[in-house]
Amino acid sequence: MSDTTTERAINRDAMTVSDEVAIQITDMNKWYGTFHVLRDINLTVNQGERIVIAGPSGSGKSTLIRCINRLEEHQAGTIMVDGTELSSDLKNIDKIRSEVGMCFQHFNLFPHLTILENCTLAQIWVRKTPKKEAEEIAMHFLEKVKIPEQADKYPGMLSGGQQQRVAIARSLCMKPRIMLFDEPTSALDPEMIKEVLDTMIELAEEGMTMLCVTHEMGFARQVANRVIFMDAGQIVEQNEPEEFFNNPQSDRTKLFLSQILGH
Amino acid sequence: MSNSEISFVRTEMLPEKAPPAKETGAIKWIRQNLFSGWLNILLTVLSLYVIYAVLSLVLPWAFGGVWNAGSLTECREVLFSFYKGSHDGACWAVIEDRWLQILFGFYPPELYWRPILAFVLLFVALAPILFADKVPGQLMWFSLAYPFLAAWLVWGGSFWLPIFAAFGFVAAVIAYKILIKFAGPIVANLGALAAALIWWGMLMSPISDGLHKMVGSSRFENTVATLNARTDALPAEVAAEDALLEAKQAEIAEAVEVKNEILIEMTGIRIEEFGIEEQFEAKEVALQRIVGASESISDLSDILADWGGAPVAASGASEGDIAKAEAAAETAEDLVGDIESLLTGALSDLADDTVDASELMVSSASQADPSIAEDVSSMVSKAGLEDPIAALIVRAGNVSTETPEAELMALQADVETAASALGANIEALQTVHDKVIATNAESLVDPQARLLDQTSLLTALRDDQTVISQSKFRLETELSEGNSFLNSLGTLEAREASLPGLRSRVADLKAELPRNMRNLIAVNQLPEGTSSADERLLSEYLSARSDVLGVSASVNDTYGELGRVGLLPIDSRNIGGFMLALIIGIAGIVLSLPLGILLALGRQSHLFIVNKICVVFIEVIRGVPLIVWLFTASLLLNYFLPPGTNFDLVLRVIIMVTLFAAAYIAEVIRGGLAALPTGQYEGADSLGLSYWQSMQLIILPQAMKISIPGIVNTFIGLFKDTTLVLFIGLFDPIGLAGAIRADTAWNGIYWELFIFIGLLFFIFCFSMGRYSLHLEKKLQREHR
Ligand SMILES: Nc1ncnc2c1ncn2[C@@H]1O[C@H](COP(=O)(O)OP(=O)(O)OP(=O)(O)O)[C@@H](O)[C@H]1O
Ligand SMILES: [Mg+2]
């Protein structure tokens, strides 16, 4: 896959990593029926960290990221998000979900609501923000992702890149402390990939904690402070981007990188 | 690339041109849609023919119908006076006479305004739901209050009853709000349900009874006084109405007399027509017989020619030849007999016809058309027809198998002459008939017009009569009900006073009873070997208990009537017709949608118990015919309810219909839910929306949009299924049609009634279908 590197220099000033732990995953295991998808996952993410998760198809990247806001249930081990443990307690789950934003490969916008309504809905119903204020916040984030003029359209009228940016704005409206991205660009044309990546880079520059499943290695190099490589449900290797790309340790990683960067 | 063969640069742009004429407008449309290929042409022609055939039957029937008549017989009289049975017409008079009944059943006519008002308000209540974008949202409150208001308008009773019924929901909401602060949503929901049930089941009717008693006691003296005055005055009023009624009836009898005179007059004009028509049949039969005789003669002569005389077997012939000869001889004998008997028959046919064609009295018609008289005088007289036939019979009597060929030929020729004479006579008669009809048609115009006037006068008179007899009936009912109410008011005090005594007796008897018998409700539940004293005690106890129940119920009833502040109560038995279909249909639709949604969500739920309950409920309800559930509602439900509860039949039917439709709606909506991509659920979840929020805001709006056609389809089915209540003794429109046909005046009528009822249902179902299309299009436009 080609590098879609942005030309402008990245402002790394705000991209500091604090000592505060945002996500703590210990000995986490997950099965689909008898199929062991995630095996002994241990991962600590600090506030402000930007992590890229890479790996071959079917390695469990999506499953891992979806466990963090409990779209999937894990069967063993613990996941702590912002100091709260994920358990089957519904109140905890809803609280964590409103703190953790998520962007999907297929955007998952609500087609029966306008862009603005998509962005205000959760604020009004979950955060109980007054409608007026919610709309102001929504417009603020829509401006940030550079599509305020589309506010009154329906998602079906927008291009893929625009929809993904709306999805990001929708998550941001909840003022999340952590953002999860599951292959946000893999359903998009190259031109649109760039507009979405630009938005994500801006977000990184503001110090957002990000976990990002992506095949955009240029993005990983530029923004991430850690790259995690997964295979067969396990974390095979993790390292700083420079090290990871220039000096991969395991054979599996080397093979993967040669495949993904080789042409 | 720079090959001159391929390279091309356009130097000027082509102007826009109109498409060729045969590719536009109506012609194009017809060519494309009706005559595009031979199969299409065939179908077009065939369907045009079918449409023509149906319409040419139905339209004259429908538009040549009679609107003013008091009975089917009168309808037929009018139709006959116009068309003389040549074509049938609809008797719409039955609709004119009974449409109110088909609409309202046996609801008291003077109170029609109540259901009508409820119906009008229905549209106000529906507006915020159906056209949410065009109507102010505050109207929603009215929509919520509407069901209670409408039920009160239709059934009547004190004004606080609907308020109390609605309060059950308020109680539920209050209980929920309080409980949700201390406990989880499940407890809160159950608490809300319990609060509502406690209110409806235990608190509501004592409070309402208390109010009635309070108002009633304060009114007692006044009511008795006014009732006494009223019952004294009423007999005179009834008598006055009676006198009016009698006068009206006399008027009607007179009008009927006039109508009959017109009919007689018309018959007088047509008497010649009828006379000629009577002749036709006899003469045509006679003609057929004569022709038959001629054929027999020729058959006979054929056989005789074949055998060269009477069929006889030659001596020494084989057995087969002998049999053939015998058969031929037998046939020949039969034919000889036939000739004579056919001719004799023809003569007697002619003799039966007593009118001599040439002597027809065509006076009135021939005055208008002198040529008729000429035609008649040139016709052969009756004797002129009969005499030759009589002569032929004599000759036929002499015919035998021995008769020579030439003689037979001569006879046949003469028979044919007679036949053609008769044929000519019939034809002449036909001409005369046509002319007579033509002249009569003119003379009939005036009496026909008078007949129509007279029937519409009669209809008006009968309408007056209906009004008078209704008001008489109302006064009579008021009188009898007033008297019986006075009676019960008279005994009210005594009944109330007897209650404490009765209660203490029950308590005493209960104390005497052995402990293990105190919960029994029937003597036959006693274990075997119980002593007869115990048995007697139990039966005394039971009857004392039912006395208490009965007396306190009757006291409550009396107070209920005495202390009523509101509308006159109407019994469910009197609610019928299309109104009943609407009540059941609309209530079923409104209630089954939320229930169906809940069931669909339950069926999708991961909670095992909830899921299984919903699955079983849906499958059981769907798997059993609606009619079975209706019978359950009317017969069995009473067994499951606490004794003494009087659960309205219409309400029970509504519940059953609702459950039935909800099962279907649930499946339709489940289809919609399944059609949504999982991304929608995940998107909602990832934003932290709770289950109910994501259902309400994200999932259901989309699933419902997909399901609209299915939902509306179910609703239309439900609405039409309301006619099934006929089988449990409620008078839906079809049931009323039966009742109307049971009336001697309208016995034998059906098409008109069923067309009218069908039309009513069609209007409603069609509007629902149209609305669903509108909604689909609107949502389509909005969302993509
Ligand atoms: N709902 C499910 N039930 C059973 N197996 C599943 C389910 N979802 C995913 N799997 C399996 O779990 C494994 C991991 O899936 P996952 O979607 O996490 O992979 P991934 O790394 O995200 O792959 P990709 O790059 O293709 O998105 C795969 O083998 C997949 O087949
Ligand atoms: Mg994936």
Give domain status of residue B409, yes or no.
yes
Picking from B679, B688, B702, the nearest residue to A104 by CB comes out as B679
Q: Can you tell me the distance from the alpha carbon of B733 to that of B585, in angstroms, rounded to the nearest whole number?
A: 13
User: Quick check: A14 pLDDT over 70?
Assistant: no
Domain membership of residue B9 (yes or no) is yes
Which one of A122, A154, A156 has the shortest CB-CB distance to B687?
Answer: A122
Answer yes or no: are the C-beta atoms of B732 and B102 closer than 8 Å: no
CB B245 within 8 A of CB B387: no
pTM for the complete prediction? 0.78
Positive or negative, the CA dihedral B306, B311, B315, B316 is positive
The total number of structural domains that make up chain B: 4
Query: B302 and B432 share a domain?
Result: yes
Are the CB atoms for B666 and B614 separated by under 8 Å? yes
Q: Which of A29, A63, A230 to mutate to test the pocket of ligand 1 (most atoms within 8 A of CB)?
A: A63
Statement to judge: residues B730 and B610 lie in one domain? yes
Of A193, A226, A242, A218, nearest to A45 by C-alpha is A226
Same domain membership, residue B386 and residue B352: yes
Assigned domain for B521 exists: yes
What are the counts of helices (DSSP H) followed by strands (DSSP E) for chain B? 25, 2
Between CA A50 and CA A18 the distance in angstroms is 12
Task: Locate all alpha helices (DSSP H) within B577-699, ordered by sequence.
Answer: 577-604, 608-623, 626-631, 637-640, 649-675, 678-686, 691-694
According to the model, what pLDDT value does residue B110 have? 87
Indicate if B452 and B532 belong to the same structural domain: no
Taking CA atoms, B731 is separated from A187, B60, B573, B717, B735, in Å, by 62, 32, 8, 19, 5
Whether the per-residue pLDDT at A182 is higher than 60: the answer is: yes
CA angle B656, B658, B659 (to 5 degrees): 65
Using the Cβ of A73 and the Cβ atoms of chain B, whether some distance falls under 8 Å is answered with no
For ligand 1, atom 29, name the residue with the nearest CA: A58
Please measure the distance between the N-terminal and C-terminal CA atoms of chain A and give it in whole angstroms: 7
Whether residue A73 has its Cβ less than 6 Å from ligand 1:
no
Q: Using one digit for the tens of pLDDT, what is the confidence trace for A145-168? A: 888 888 888 888 888 888 988 998
Out of B686, B690, B698, name the one closest to residue A71 (CB). B686
Q: In testing the pocket of ligand 1, which one of A62, A71, A256 has its CB within 8 Å of the most ligand atoms?
A: A62
Does B334 contact chain A (CB < 8 Å)?
A: no
Q: Average pLDDT by consecutive 10-residue portion of chain B (784 residues)? A: 67 78 73 83 92 90 83 84 72 88 89 93 86 77 90 90 91 90 83 90 87 88 89 91 93 92 86 78 86 88 80 77 84 86 86 65 65 74 80 83 82 87 85 82 85 89 90 91 89 87 86 77 73 81 86 87 87 88 91 92 89 93 90 76 68 89 93 91 89 89 90 91 85 85 84 91 92 85 60
pLDDT value for A1:
41
Q: Does a structural domain hold residue B265?
A: no
- End of a domain among B499, B530, B562? B562
Residues B689 and B725 placed together within one structural domain of the fold? yes
B724 and B782 fall within a common domain: yes
Question: Are residues B539 and B445 part of one domain?
Answer: no
Q: Is A210 helix (H, G, I), strand (E, B) or coil?
A: strand
Asked if residue B205 is part of any domain, the answer here is no
Q: Helix, strand, coil shares of chain B as percentages rounded to 5? A: 80, 0, 15
Is residue A61 lining ligand 1, measured as CB closer than 6 Å?
Answer: yes
Distance separating alpha carbons of residues B259 and B474, to the nearest angstrom:
32
Find out whether the beta carbon of A67 lies less than 6 Å from any atom of ligand 1.
Answer: no
Q: Quick check: CB of A60 below 6 Å from ligand 1?
A: yes
Where among B463, B497, B529 does a domain terminate? B463
Half-sphere exposure for A206 (CA within 13 Å, toward CB) = 13
pLDDT, residue B68, reads 82
The residue nearest atom 30 of ligand 1, judged by CA position, is: A58
Q: In whole angstroms, what is the distance from residue B587 CA to residue B722 CA?
A: 11
The owner of tokens 């509007």 is B767
Question: If you count residue pairs, one on A and one on B, with CB atoms under 8 Å apart, how many are there?
Answer: 72
Q: Could you tell me where the beta strands, DSSP code E, fall in B364-515?
A: none
What pLDDT score does A8 carry?
A: 58
SS3 A79: strand
Residue to substitute in A61, A67, A236 for testing ligand 1 pocket (most ligand atoms within 8 angstroms of CB): A61
ipTM of the modeled complex: 0.91
Predicted local confidence at residue A4, as pLDDT? 47
Q: Which of these three, B410, B435, B463, is where a domain ends?
A: B463
Question: Based on the domain organization, do B449 and B399 belong to the same domain?
Answer: yes
In 3D, which of A258, A205, A195, A252 has the Cα closest to residue A229?
Answer: A252
Rounded CA separation B617/B599 (Å)? 9
Other CB atoms within 10 A of residue B666 CB: 27
B689–A122 C-beta distance less than 8 A: yes
The tokens of B15 are what? 């102007």
What is the residue range of B310's domain?
275-463
**B690 and B771 belong to one structural domain:** yes
> What one-character DSSP code corresponds to residue B402?
T
**Residue B388, in any domain of the structure:** yes
Of A206 and B195, the structure prediction assigns the larger pLDDT to B195
**CA distances for B38 relative to A180, B28, B418, angstroms:** 64, 17, 55
Query: Has residue B153 been placed in a domain?
Result: no
Query: H or E segment at A53?
Result: strand A50-54
Task: Over range A178-205, report the average pLDDT.
Answer: 86
Is A12 in CB contact (< 8 Å) with chain B?
Answer: no
**Residues B716 and B584 grouped into a single domain:** yes
Residues B410 and B529 in one domain: no
Query: Pairing state of beta strands A209-213 and A50-54?
Result: parallel
According to the model, what pLDDT value does residue A110 have?
Answer: 92
Do B350 and B487 lie in one domain? The reply is no
**Is B716 a domain residue?**
yes
CB contact under 8 A, B682 and A104: yes
The minimal CB distance from B688 to the residues A108, A111, A174 is found for: A174
Distance A107 CA to ligand 1 centre (A): 18
